[in-house]
Amino acid sequence: MSYFEDMLTRSGFNDGHSLPDGAFEYRALYIQYLNAMAARFGCDQRAFAYDRGGSHNPCLIVFANADTVARLGLTDHDLANLTRAAEILPVNTWTTFMRLSSKTQRTHKPR
């Protein structure tokens, strides 16, 4: 899965400085696949697209509770093309998520 790991952290794609052509298209396909598998296996999380503005990676995949996604009436197409995390996550949750994901990125060791 090309670029997948870079899409999971705000420091991916060299902190957004080396975003390859087609990254957003790959992301949409990954999200559709992840959500299909999550639904099939009863996972309580759903992936969605987030185009982060500013000085870091603009092509992120983040996750939200499936109940929240259902309550908002979002389709799989919406999730693959959503650009504002605030539509799903409250700001304090998003801030916490980003803080935790950056810690995970620093401590993650490749297999």
Calpha distance 22→24 (Å, rounded):
6
Least confident of 16-20, 78-82, 95-99: 95-99
Q: Return the amino acid letter for 12.
A: G
Q: Taking Cα atoms as reference points, which of 64, 62, 60 lies closest to residue 51?
A: 60
Task: Please say whether the beta carbons of 47 and 63 come within 8 A.
Answer: yes
Structure confidence at residue 26 as a pLDDT band (50, 70, 90): very high
Comparing CA positions, the residue from 60, 81, 78 lying closest to residue 70 is 78
pTM: 0.71
Tokens of 17: 């400085």
Percent above pLDDT 90 for the chain: 17
Q: How many residues appear in the chain? A: 111
Q: In this predicted structure, what is the pLDDT of residue 21?
A: 92
Task: Name the percent of the chain lying above pLDDT 70.
Answer: 72
Determine the pLDDT at residue 71. Answer: 80
What was the pLDDT predicted at 30?
A: 92
Q: How many Å apart are CA 94 and CA 64, to the nearest integer? A: 10
